[in-house]
Amino acid sequence: MMPTSHSVRLLVDARNSLGESPLWCPRSQALWWIDVQQPSLWQWDHATGATKTWPLPKPPGNISLLEGGGLLVAYRKGLAVLREPDMHPEPLRLGEFEFGDERFNDGKVDRLGRLWVGSFDRSLERETGRLYRADASMSIRAVDTGFGLSNGIGWSSDSSTLYFADTHAQCIYRYAFDLKSGEACDRDVFVEFRPGPGGPDGLTVDAEGGVWCALFDRGRVDRYSADGTLDLSVELPVSRPTSCTIGGPRMRTLFITTARMGIDEEALTTQSGAGGVFCLEIGQRGLLGQPFAPSTDLSARQARQ
């Protein structure tokens, strides 16, 4: 059955300025996400329905699960380990890596535990964004370049295809992907959107190969089949969805983060849930996320450097 706007419900009225990077943890049966503009970490517990939040010392770009527990936080200009939500993040040293005028944005971990993270020019004026891969040894390299606003990342269920959104280009790209080597090549356009405000933001891929993408400033989440055909659109009661993921006990709940920044007071009267987390039940099963898998204990490695 195709979801409708009536299927969507407000799960957490978080009032995030820029909610982002929703992450389902199967071990704790909890949803994690961040507020980028009001730097904070959030958690919703499925068993109790309770929501918790913790301040972060600076704006995050994305979060990932960490093998053995905790979270990997990609800040705008670096990575850090957050072992417990109320602890101070431990910065990681990236081998032979220097930023120019760009900063990290969205990111995700592939099925061999490598972090993929996009960047963009801080002035949002140049197409200097890159797609990076950070390996277990914390070596990091650019896999592709020339992006205006790097955003959602995901893989097909067999890991043969990598999807990557550039909001400014109004495109979701796809690459031929080799999981063993971590190489992505032969970029082409998977979906191209009409010109206009906002565009493709965070995305996730289901077990049937469908690509779900939040369309910022367009008030909906679209699902595309593996051939790029629009399968369905989920209309939302707010205009600025930012990202989505699939989780829940049955792995059939679509969670959607949203933003309220930039929405004027008059518009907020009709978008009271802006900045909240929305959800709906879907027919497709999600794919379990992979934790970042360092080759050795992070603390020991940092001490040796």
CA distance 110 to 102: 23
Annotated domain spans of the chain: 5-304
Confidence of residue 120 (pLDDT cuts 50, 70, 90): very high
The one-letter code for the residue type at 25 is C
Secondary-structure class of domain 5-304 per CATH: mainly beta
Mean pLDDT of the residues in the chain: 92
At 232 the pLDDT is 94
Q: What was the pLDDT predicted at 182?
A: 95
More confident residue, 253 or 289: 253
The answer on pLDDT for 121 being more than 60 is yes
pLDDT for the residue numbered 193: 97
Number of alpha helices (DSSP H) and beta strands (DSSP E) in the chain: 2, 24
User: Residue 212 gets which letter from DSSP?
Assistant: E
CA 219 and chain centroid, separation: 17
Instruction: Please tell me the predicted confidence (pLDDT) of residue 272.
Output: 86
Q: Please state, in angstroms and rounded to a whole number, the distance separating the CA atoms of residues 58 and 147.
A: 24
> What residues contact residue 27 under an 8 Å CB cut-off, 6+ apart?
none
Q: Which residues pair with 163 in a beta bridge?
A: 154, 174
Q: Are 35 and 43 in contact (CB under 8 A)?
A: no
Residue 247 has pLDDT above 70, yes or no: yes
**Structure tokens given for 46:** 């499925």
**Tens digits of per-residue pLDDT, 32-52?**
999 999 999 999 999 999 999
Q: What is the mean pLDDT of residues 250-270?
A: 95
pLDDT at residue 216 above 60? Answer: yes
Could you tell me the pLDDT band of residue 295, with boundaries at 50, 70 and 90? low
What pLDDT digit, counting tens, does each position of 62-118 carry?
999 999 899 999 998 889 999 999 999 999 887 666 777 789 999 999 999 999 999
